[in-house]
Amino acid sequence: MPHDPPATRTRALAGLNPSALVRLGMAAPAEEAPPAVPGYEILESLGRGGMGEVFRARQESLGREVAVKILRGDLPAAGWLPERFEQEARTMAALRHPNVVTVHDCVRLGDGHVAIVMEFITGGSLRTHLAAAPDGLPLAQALRWAREIAEGLRAAHGAGLVHRDVKPDNVLIDDTGTARVSDFGMAFSPLPDAARFTQTGTTAGTPGYMAPEHWRGGTVDARADIFSYGATLYEMLTGRLPQGNFPPVRKLRPEVPESVDRAILAALQPDAAARPPDMTAVLCALTEKPAFFTRRRVFAAGAAAAVAGGAGWWWLGQRKKQGDPSPAGARWETVAWPENPAASAISGGWRVENGVLLSDDRICILPLAQELPASCRLRLRFKRLAGNMSIGVFFRTPRGTAVCTLDGRGRHLGGVQSVNGETLNPGNSFYEVLQNGRSYDWTIELRPGRVRMWLDGVLRNDRDISGAELSVPDTWAWRPPPGSAALLLGSWNSAASFEWFEWFDETGV
């Protein structure tokens, strides 16, 4: 068959502009309209990431602005199932912490997408601030945000969540200048009883921040977040990522405290077992307060592993957490459980089994002693068995009866309720997520003008109550009458066990 002459083939392209064809080939595909999210009006796109796209939206029922993250529709093919996100969104929604972006809702859409509704933060990301500080943030600002990020991660880990993608892009700075950890879209629960939806070997994260065990596709836990946190803090202080033969921070910025430098290098240990075991240990290492208290918990430090180029891995050595500072020779007295706690209880159900005091799942208050010294120290070991509400120790003072609370108001707040009518809030309390089934050692120092609390040997609260009016919140459904007991135990709708309780007189100490 004869071929068409060349001129004929050329004429077939007549009328087409080659430049236009090139521009057409390079043009970005048309943006897809975001899926409709019932109850929310999508206003604008805030950005797209590896897991999906984030939009600014308006919650129609409350008229407030929120951030809506719509997860990619192809994630199930990679093993990231909608059920997993819904489960973790519920966990995150129960987590309230000033350094964690709040999750409001999780919505399964009709087309299979999942939308996570979050608090809308207006101050931009930590990445934006780093872009304006190529050699590192001002030291005071960097260390303040470092502590806030660590507190947020500690709260999430306490709730059983591992973030798995800690980096400056996932830390938001709110309009008060506070750092807030966000984007738990890759978070998962490492707890033994948690449902597993992530496929074994599935790897997600950001190179440069990922722990070695993470990018190898191995099992990750909170120590992977600690590695990523160390990389983030290194970048905050130096403007660069710790890659290759990187020097210690103090080589680049001599004004950085030595304790902070050691803490970063400890967090960046390639072996997960050689890193600090949890964010509490990291926070202690960052501040490196004098360890003159009684030994309570020690985390082992591995030997330093040399890094090529002589930079070296610095380690923290043997460190211990702060314990309650009991004076030498202090004589602790055991508080005896009532012979018939059910009969002597103010409310709820109480019983003793094998020497352990047990409360049921009602509002439980039990008197233990009629009098206390003007200054004393109390310590007890307890375990919350079920529920997610308060454990309390009541004490009487000349200015009223008060209660020291853990997990107050079901918001993981600890401190003294109520002082001058003000109950617990993030400004006057500390944050601690109690884990059911775990034993805690709680120490309380009571003085006429001050209350201090330690949990598992770490000082968590130091509250000035001088001249204040103290009271028991109405939620405990008990108004202490004149002459009521000076020391009581309580659990609020959460069954608990108390292994022992003891005290000593600090008057004159």
Give the contacts of 476 (CB within 8 A, at least 6 positions apart).
Answer: 363, 365, 392, 403, 490, 492
Q: What's 184's DSSP letter?
A: -
At position 238, the amino acid (one-letter code) is T
Tens of pLDDT, residue by residue over 292-333, are 222 332 233 332 333 323 223 333 333 333 445 555 556 788
Q: What is the pLDDT of residue 16?
A: 47
Share of the chain above pLDDT 70, in %: 76
Tens of pLDDT, residue by residue over 200-229, are 334 456 788 999 988 777 778 899 999 999
Distance CA 493, CA 360 (A): 8
More confident: 75 or 357: 357
Tens of pLDDT, residue by residue over 59-74, are 999 999 999 988 766 6
Tens of pLDDT, residue by residue over 488-499, are 999 999 999 999
Q: What is the pLDDT of residue 207?
A: 80
Q: What is the pLDDT of residue 96?
A: 79
Looking at the predicted structure, is the pLDDT value of residue 76 above 60? no
How does residue 281 score in pLDDT terms, banded at 50, 70 and 90? confident
DSSP count for the chain of H helices, then E strands: 11, 23
Share of the chain above pLDDT 90, in %: 48
Structure tokens at 192: 């033994």
Buried b (16+ CB within 10 A) or exposed e, 105-122: bbbebeeebbbbbbbbbe
The whole-number average pLDDT for the span 175-203 is 57
The whole-number average pLDDT for the span 156-183 is 89
Q: What is the pLDDT of residue 176?
A: 84
Distance CA 426, CA 409 (A): 12
Other Cβ atoms within 10 Å of 391 Cβ, number: 28
At position 26, the amino acid (one-letter code) is M
Looking at the predicted structure, is the pLDDT value of residue 88 above 50? yes
Q: Nearest 5 degrees, angle CA 473-CA 477-CA 480?
A: 75
Do residues 496 and 385 lie in contact, with contact meaning Cβ atoms separated by under 8 Å?
yes
Q: Give the pairing of strands 496-505 and 40-48.
A: unpaired
Q: What is the mean pLDDT of the chain?
A: 80
C-alpha dihedral (322, 324, 325, 331), degrees to nearest 10: -150
Looking at the predicted structure, is the pLDDT value of residue 508 above 80? no
Looking at the predicted structure, is the pLDDT value of residue 79 above 90? no
Q: What is the pLDDT of residue 73?
A: 65
pTM above 0.75, yes or no: no
Q: What is the pLDDT of residue 47?
A: 81
How does residue 265 score in pLDDT terms, banded at 50, 70 and 90? very high
More confident: 387 or 234: 234
Do residues 287 and 316 lie in contact, with contact meaning Cβ atoms separated by under 8 Å?
no
**4 in catalytic set:** no
Tens of pLDDT, residue by residue over 91-141, are 777 777 889 998 888 888 877 778 889 999 988 899 999 999 999 999 989
More confident: 400 or 290: 400
Spot the catalytic one: 74, 165, 183, 360.
165
Region 126-320: CATH code: 1.10.510.10
The whole-number average pLDDT for the span 37-54 is 85
Domain extents in the chain: 40-119, 126-320, 333-505
* Fold match between domain 126-320 and domain 333-505: no
Distance CA 448, CA 322 (A): 24
Do residues 472 and 485 lie in contact, with contact meaning Cβ atoms separated by under 8 Å?
no
> Which superfamily, per CATH, for 40-119?
Phosphorylase Kinase; domain 1 (3.30.200.20)
Confirm or reject CATH 3.40.50.970 for domain 333-505, answering yes or no: no
Cα-flanking dihedrals φ and ψ of residue 252, to 5°? -95, -35
How does residue 432 score in pLDDT terms, banded at 50, 70 and 90? confident
The whole-number average pLDDT for the span 25-30 is 47
